A and B are shown apart, each in its own frame.
Chain A
Amino acid sequence: MNALLTSAVAGLTAGGTYALLGVCAVFTYRLVAVVNFTGAAIGTAGTFVLIALYEAGFPLWPSVLAGIAAGTVVGVAIGFIMTRWFGEASASTKAAVTVALLVGIIAIGLRLTGGQHPHNMPELFPGSAFRMAGVEVTIASVLTIGLAALFTILADLFLNNTKVGLNLRALADRPMAAELLGIRVQMLSLLVWGMTGAFTTFALMIIAPQRSPNFMTLSLLVVPALAAALVGLFRSFWRTLAGGIGLGLVEGMASSVDSVSQYRSAIPFLVVLAVLLWSQREARWDEAR
């Protein structure tokens, strides 16, 4: 029992990261109507800037800041492509574009970082925060979950309680209409992309030491992130938060059971399958067509 609890708690850091990435995905979807497959790749780019600077001997914390700045820039760059050329495109075209961009980013990333070549990723927040029922809870897990919760609260407040948020929600599908209302859509969209870029970069920096830090593995963390977002049906931030943390816990537990631990990366797939089958109980037609 205690072993299971220990491994579940060990999954908390991953859970917090999934949750944060998932909440960012929902945020992006609700504000700029893009299901973003490059989410984790943007953060990965920033993380590797940190690694490169750190390996070159720069001090840690300035490198972290530079990494976050780089993630923000990459986010804004992708946002620029999406708003400049695909502002009025359909949701599935936009998703297809981010898939294509993901292919390109991973290829460039692998090239620049030397493929599977092992890197020295500093642990930003080593040590444990507190003990709970005899199990150490790490600072990293408290931090990722805290950050995810903070982002959830902010996103919820912004969308429900500010005028700009309300307008954007109503008009996410029709940027042109928002433009006519006097909202600076382009500016705001880029802000959304930059902000999610910064947050995901920070989350990935925390989880990177736990994973094999190669560019592709980290970029593909988008899979559990989107699974979490699906748990929230791309609408509810709180459910996405819960979905992400839950996913991490289940993965943690699975890793302690020998017979299934090898297959634990199949868990997001099972979650996605279950959520989709459950959410489409009632027939619905594709929107307005």
Chain B
Amino acid sequence: MKRASLKASLVVVIAAIVLGGVIAGLLPSYWVFLSTSVLITGVALQSLGLVAGRTGMIALCQMSFAGVGAWTVGYLNLAEAPGGLAVWILIGGLAAVPLGVAIGLPALRLRGINLAIVTLSFATAFDTILATMTYPGQTDFLQVPRPELFDSDEGYFVFVLLFYVVIAVALEVLSRSRLGASWLAVRHSERAAAAHGVSIATAKLSAFAISAFVAGISGGLLAGYLGTLVSENFSMMQSLSLYAVAVMTGAHFAEGAIIGGLLVVMFPEILRRLDLPQDIGNVLFAIGATQALSTGETMSETFRRQVRKLMPARVKAAASALASDLPAPVSRAAGPALSIENLTVRYGSVVALDGVSLTVAAGTVAGLIGPNGAGKSTFIDAVAGFLSSYEGSISLGGKPLEGMPAHQRARAGLRRTWQTNRIAPELTVGGYLALAAKGLSASETKAILGWLDCPDPDTLVVSVDAGTRRLLDVAGVVAARPAVVLLDEPAAGQSHEESVRLGQRIAEIPKLFGSAVLLVEHDMDLVRAVCSEVTVLDFGRVIASGPPAKVLDQGSVKKAYLGIEEESVAA
């Protein structure tokens, strides 16, 4: 477990012990009973926060998953299964998992809106099915028994609190893991996540499976709380209003889930005491969610921002570390690291690349240049596996890559950076490096960040300036120490001094990390300084290749770049 997760987990546990002790020990029974309901809603909200908050998908059937969990608990009770409530609840959670995965499947390749439609239609279908089947034991008035130790209202409160804390800590640890970082990365940009070797399918389905599991548990807890249930407990309207609350408070934060639970439970209670209709609550949640969506900030995020403002500002120094802490280079055989033969890409009738051949030798830095629209980005997309089809062959260290999707090419040792920034802003600098390079130690992380003048690992990416984020992109790919690194205009937007320094770093990559580099760049000084071979593209064709000093002086290259004829250059 990482230090940061340990700290956050401790905060959750201590807060739970203090608040739990106060509530169970001092408050009257009725309030303890209501607080239990807050916690159960909080568990359901945490499950929703995972898909809605972290992976950014619209999920509208969370209470249906809860219904599956509750139904399973009811069924096990009716069947007098061994194990008691705690075990039944876990089985109920597991029962919801296959459904979560099945419903996540249609959302694998298409984005959020389709998932919203699938989940909403599932919630409708589930409503009818549950109403027809009735809840097990409902007709015989059979109650779900609570464990003996936790039978009183205070006892059951503690029982639910235990579940809440375990789930909150587990989610906290998960969110700081590479899997958690991949959820944020997928939310921000699926392509960029795949370029780090993240399987989009695994990321999305795991989020769905875990979310369904937690939702199923919340349903099981509700079964023990109320004893008997009716299908209305899990109706679509409940799912919809839960979604609105999750959006409003930011349910993927521990405090967001609790604030949401408080709103859902206490607001109707207050309205009831004021003799006002209780369903006004949903109107408030709708307004709150709309407000949160328009500002792009949930209640939890506002809260955290205010707290940060109050804290004395800490000056974040650039990561300083010893160069000797850099991870050891991976030694590779000499010869071609990446070879591309006759690569042709067509968009309809337009030929973007026409029979391009290029080789990058191991241990070298090669350059790919050409005017705008020459096909450089298409070239990188094709090589890294982001185009659905191309002709020709691409092989990495002699192994053909055809038929491999982007994330597998990345895992095989072919990494790329992007012209535009695609790093998820919610990640920390260290978290981003952990996502890009599996199993990097803390000192190695610091060393790589120091090597590229990037900020401290604990810095949030959102507070890093655009130029430095581009360096961070480079840090990410080299940290993985792949066989080949494709750098897409890393010096764009850098000042001359920064670009000179970056050039020195790029030249060191083969020696320090054992990776061959293909540099796509407009900065000719940079290309001259670091590349041993240069290939020039124009209108999708290779017009020259060879050592930079020779190639850059060719008339055809000057013409392609400057648009002037050879004669006038000579004159």
Contacts and interface: CB of A to CB of B under 8 A. Distances in A.
Interface stretch (B111-119, B390-398, B528-536): B111-119
Contacts of B60: 99
B114 A230 contact: yes
Interface string B120-149: 111011011100100000000000000000
B285 A103 contact: yes
Given A262-B128, A283-B388, A103 B244 contact: yes
B164 to A, nearest CB: 25
A253 interface: no
A269 B129 CA distance: 12
Given A99-B60, A107-B280, A227-B121, A289 B190 contact: yes
A224 to B, nearest CB: 8
A169 B277 CA distance: 44
A282 B188 CA distance: 22
Contacts of B236: 220
A263 B283 CA distance: 31
Contacts of B290: 81, 85, 97, 100-101, 104
Contact of B286 (A89, A100, A280, A285): A100
B128 A265 contact: yes
Contacts of A265: 124-125, 127-128
Nearest to B191: A285
A49 B114 CA distance: 32
A164 interface: no
Interface residues of B, number: 54
Task: Report whether over half of chain B's contact residues are helix, strand or loop; otherwise say mixed.
Answer: helix
B110 A86 contact: no
Interface residues of A, number: 51
B8 interface: no
Interface string B273-293: 000010111110111011001
A44 to B, nearest CB: 14
A106 B237 contact: yes
B253 interface: no
A272 interface: yes
Contacts of A37: 116, 120
A286 interface: yes
Interface in B304-359: none
Contacts of A279: 110
B118 A99 contact: no
Interface string A264-280: 11101110110011011
A69 to B, nearest CB: 24
Given A97-B290, A99-B58, A216 B113 contact: no
B526 to A, nearest CB: 27
A35 B287 contact: no
B405 interface: yes
A210 interface: no
Contact of B117 (A91, A104, A226): A226
B106 A95 contact: no
Contacts of B277: 111
B247 interface: yes
A93 to B, nearest CB: 6
A277 to B, nearest CB: 6
Interface in A93-121: 93, 95-97, 99-108, 110-111
A128 interface: no
A100 B125 contact: no
Given A103-B240, A104-B286, A223 B279 contact: no
A106 B112 contact: no
A89 B286 CA distance: 18
A40 B282 CA distance: 18
Contacts of B190: 285-286, 289
A160 interface: no
Nearest to A283: B109
A289 to B, nearest CB: 5
B422 interface: yes
Contact of B58 (A95, A216, A227): A95
Contact of B282 (A85, A97, A106, A280): A106
A212 interface: no
B56 interface: yes
Contact of A223 (B124, B243, B281, B289): B124
Contact of B279 (A102, A111, A284): A111
Contacts of B109: 280, 283-284
Interface in B52-84: 56, 58, 60
A106 B293 CA distance: 19
A233 B106 CA distance: 14
A162 interface: no
B132, B237, B287, most chain A CB atoms within 10 A: B237
Contacts of B113: 35, 91-92, 95
B110 A95 contact: no
A248 B112 CA distance: 27
A196 to B, nearest CB: 18
A283 B386 CA distance: 10
Contacts of A85: 290, 294
Interface string B364-399: 000000000000000000000010100000000000
Contacts of A284: 109-110, 388
B116 A268 contact: no
Contacts of A92: 56, 58, 111-113, 116
Nearest to A216: B237
B294 A86 contact: yes
A95, A100, A110, A220, most chain B CB atoms within 10 A: A100
A116 to B, nearest CB: 11
Contacts of B120: 37, 222-223, 226
Contact of A280 (B106, B127, B240): B106
Contacts of B112: 91-92, 95
Contacts of A268: 121, 124-125
B129 A266 contact: yes
B105 interface: yes
B241 interface: yes
A33 to B, nearest CB: 11
A230 B107 CA distance: 13
Given A92-B56, A104-B282, A104-B283, A230 B293 contact: no
A230 B125 contact: no
B128 A272 contact: no
Given A89-B293, A227-B117, A265-B125, 8 more contacts: A37-B120, A99-B240, A107-B280, A223-B121, A283-B388, A285-B190, A286-B191, A289-B188
7 tightest A-B contacts by CB? A104-B286, A107-B282, A266-B125, A276-B106, A100-B289, A92-B112, A269-B121
6 contacts: A86-B293, A262-B128, A268-B124, A269-B125, A276-B110, A285-B190
